[in-house]
Structure 1
Amino acid sequence: MATIDLIVLGMLKKEELSAYDIQKLVEYRNISKWVKISTPSIYKKVLQLEQKGLISSRTEKEGNMPEKAVYSLTENGEIEFEKLMHELSKKPIHMFLDFNAVIVNLESMPKEAQRECLDEIEMNIEILLNYLEENQKLKEKAEDVPATGMAVLRQQITLAQAIKTWIADLKKTLF
Structure 2
Amino acid sequence: MEGTMAKRRPVSNLLGLAVLGLLIEQPMHPYEMGATLRERKLDGSFKVRTGSLYDVVEALQRVGWIAADTTEREGRRPERTVYSLTELGQLEFAQWLDELVRTPVKEYPSFLAAVSYLGALGRNRAVQALQERISVLDTEIRAIQASQDEAKRQQVPRLFVIEADYAAAMAIAERDWCVRIVDEMREGTLTWPARPEPAVSAPAPSGQAS
Give the aligned CA root-mean-square deviation in angstroms: 2.0
Q: State the partner residue of 1:37.
A: 47
Letter matched to residue 37 of structure 1: K
Do 1:2 and 1:84's aligned partners in 2 also have CA atoms closer than 8 Å? Answer: no
Partner of residue 207, structure 2 = none
Matches of 1:94 and 1:24 in 2, distance apart? Answer: 30
Residues 1-175 of structure 1: pairs in structure 2 closer than 5 A: 1-33=12-44, 35-39=45-49, 40-57=51-68, 58-94=70-106, 96-143=108-155, 145-175=156-186
Structure 1: 4+ residue segments shifted above 4 A: 93-96
Distance 2:148 2:74 in 1: 34
Q: Please report the TM-score for the alignment, with normalisation by the length of structure 2.
A: 0.74
Separation in structure 1 between the aligned mates of residue 135 and residue 95 of structure 2, nearest angstrom: 40
Change (3 A) 1:150 1:84: same
* Structure 1 gap segments, 5+ residues each: none
| Letter of the 2:138 counterpart | E
The structure richer in helix per residue is 1
State the distance in 2 between where 1:99 and 1:128 align. 16
Q: Distance in 1 between matches of 2:115 and 2:20?
A: 37
Report the number of matched residues.
173
Find the aligned partners of 1:37 and 1:150 in 2 and give their Cα distance: 18
Structure-1-length-normalised TM-score: 0.87
Q: Report how far residue 157 of structure 1 moved.
A: 1.3
Percent identity, aligned pairs only, is 24
CA contact (8 A) 1:54 1:80 kept: yes
- 2:34, 2:106 → 1: CA distance? 25
Change (3 A) 1:19 1:92: same
Give CA-to-partner distance per residue, 1:39-81, whole Å, 9 cap, x none.
Answer: 2322211111111111111211244543211110112212211
SS at match of 1:99: helix
C-alpha contact 2:134 2:178 (8 A) present in aligned 1:
yes
- In 1, are the aligned partners of 2:67 and 2:83 still within 8 Å (CA)? yes
- For the residues of structure 1 that align with 2:52 and 2:87, how far apart are their CA atoms? 23
